[in-house]
Amino acid sequence: MIAEQSMRTVVRRRPTSEEGEMTTPSRETLHARLAEVLGREHAETLMRYLRFVTSDDLATRSDVDRLETRLDQVEAILRGIDERLSRIEERLDRIDDRILTTARTYMTTTIASVVTLSAAMITSQVLF
């Protein structure tokens, strides 16, 4: 209970933009006060989880909007690539079908020729 009340005095609210960002001396002061309230080991554990964030690390709404616009552009590009790949796949399927048809035709013709030649040879053997 006492620790909770002390913590409320240490971390009452988030700093406003006028107060500036957290600096290394500010973090050291916070760590010292936490060590007084929680003890050194708990203060160090908590400070490990409190990431040092500067205003440069924070995204603004305009940053998010620009990122969203860029992602929309990338998505449009990927849709175009997907459509082109689908058309290429269709063309390859048609080529594959033509190759199979041609191969069947050659095989059928070759087999018919062999059968015809074999029949001619057998007939010539029988007749002579």
CA–CA gap between residue 128 and residue 126 (Å, rounded): 6
pLDDT in tens, 72-112: 999 999 999 999 999 999 999 999 999 999 999 999 999 99
- Return the number of other C-beta atoms located less than 10 Å from residue 34's C-beta: 22
Residues 21/55, Cβ–Cβ less than 8 Å: yes
Q: What are the sequence ranges of the domains in the chain?
A: 1-58, 59-128
- What whole-number percentage of the chain has pLDDT above 90? 56
The pLDDT score that the predictor gives to residue 21 is: 54
Structure tokens at 108: 């059928």
For the chain, the average pLDDT equals: 82
